[in-house]
Chains A and B, each alone.
Chain A
Amino acid sequence: MDMYLNKGVREVIEEFPDVGEILENYQIGCVECTAAECLLKDVVEIHNQPPDQEEQMMNEITAVIYPDRKPETRVGKKGGRPEKKKIKYSPPMKRLVEEHNLIKRWVALIPKVVDNMDFEPEDYKNIVREGVNFIRKYADGYHHAKEEEILFAYFDENLDILKTMHVDHENARAHVKAIVAGLKSNDAQAIREHLSAYGDLLPEHIKKEDEILYPWMDRNLSTKQVGELFYKFDSVEKEFGDTPQKCEEFIRKLEEKFCKGGT
């Protein structure tokens, strides 16, 4: 089994598709993950399942890889889909999760923006321009100033989980760049395509950060480090002034425009 534990999870799923289904059943979304660079053993460790749940999952995976092998330990847990745990974050991590909520509100509006291509061209382009402005100022500016530049620096940059997140961030930036190029060249199709791709990428990325990355980081940060992060985030917030309020106002107005009575 060690051989497979040390293999990339994508490779294992390709060889044994049922392993992907088992991971899905335990709310481990490696199948949809755009990067899925992690080793199987790291996936198991990082998701921090309760011991009996982890044991059951590993037994199920072993049974797929080695159908003739008996499980090494007896599992006392009842069958069925495992229950979802309520995550409690440290104060700095909680702030990042709250920021994700505003980003998710923007992402929820993207299909409406894309579907309203019959707006007057300039109106439409202005909405997209403001959307790009929101991404650059809020998601990639304010939020990533804390997450990428401060929080990630507390961990080894060579960790698979961090590499996976960086790949997502770079993919998102590439889509934004393509949207800006589309605006310059009046290429509505390119705008539609890359805006949609950005909207498809973000929900899964945020889910990974909220449900896997941040809880794992919280488990590995010391009390002292949590305090340090808290005050470093305070400094970033001071530096950005009223940017978050302006960004939230933009989202609120857009919600009013596209959804009757806002959200």
Chain B
Amino acid sequence: MTHEGCPGSKMFEFNKGDDGGQEDDATATVQSQLRQWPIQLHLIGPAAPYYQGADVLLTADCVAYAFGNFHNEYLKGKSIAIACPKLDEGQDVYVEKIKAWFEDAKINTLTVMIMQVPCCMGLLNIAKQGLEKSERKVPVKSIIVDVQGEILSEEWISS
């Protein structure tokens, strides 16, 4: 393991071998649960029909790579947007889009799924800002995933 300055860029190598650490047949096809396009938060329109009254998943870019069963356990039945709070520019727009989900699309719930690295907390803060600005209150859940794909916490943060 090599150490670098930023915890979000710290290097790890997980020695899982060629079989991915699984003894079972890991080649079985996993059905995609994605039901929309686009998904990047800059590209989506918050008033799109698939957001109306939906349970929305706002996830940091890295989450779907870290969490093995992302499609079945978290994406299923939800509409999605993805973003990176560390690298993306124009994040004021993100706050406005999230506010529009709450007020205009009247979403049912928002689940914010982030990595454990400190910079990822920025995405949760963006969601909280959107909620503070919104006149309509919506239940918001936070899920934190560690770099090896374990769920570290899952809890409701508001309203």
Contacts and interface: CB of A to CB of B under 8 A. Distances in A.
Q: Identify which of B77, B108, B155, B159 gathers the most chain A CB atoms within 10 Å of its CB.
A: B108
B109 A226 contact: yes
B108 A224 contact: yes
Contacts, number: 34
Contact of A88 (B77, B78, B156, B159): B156
B72 to A, nearest CB: 14
A89 B111 CA distance: 15
A90 B109 CA distance: 11
A223 B56 CA distance: 10
Interface in B126-151: 138-139, 141
A17 interface: no
B139 A230 contact: yes
B158 A91 contact: yes
A224 B55 contact: yes
Contact-residue bracket for chain A: 10 to 19
Nearest to A229: B139
B55 A223 contact: yes
A12 to B, nearest CB: 34
B133 to A, nearest CB: 18
Contacts of B55: 223-224, 227
Nearest to B57: A223
A123 interface: no
A161 to B, nearest CB: 21
A228 interface: yes
A223 B141 contact: yes
B70 to A, nearest CB: 15
Q: Identify which of B77, B108, B139, B141 gathers the most chain A CB atoms within 10 Å of its CB.
A: B139
Contacts of A226: 109, 139, 156
A89 B159 CA distance: 11
Contacts of B139: 90-92, 226-227, 230
Contacts of B109: 223-224, 226-227, 230
B159 A91 contact: yes
Contact-residue bracket for chain B: 10 to 19
A228 B138 CA distance: 10
Interface string A86-103: 001111101000000000
A107 B154 CA distance: 34
Interface in A85-141: 88-92, 94
B123 to A, nearest CB: 18
Interface string A5-25: 000000000000000000000
A92 B108 CA distance: 13
Contacts of A228: 108
A227 B111 CA distance: 11
B108 A89 contact: no
Contacts of A223: 55, 78, 109, 111, 141
Interface of A: 88-92, 94, 223-224, 226-228, 230-231
Interface pairs A-B: 5 shortest CB-CB: A227-B108, A227-B109, A91-B139, A90-B156, A88-B155
25 contacts: A88-B155, A88-B156, A89-B156, A90-B139, A90-B156, A91-B156, A91-B158, A91-B159, A94-B156, A223-B78, A223-B141, A224-B108, A224-B109, A226-B109, A226-B156, A227-B55, A227-B108, A227-B109, A227-B138, A227-B139, A228-B108, A230-B109, A230-B138, A230-B139, A230-B159
Interface of B: 55, 77-78, 108-109, 111, 138-139, 141, 155-156, 158-159
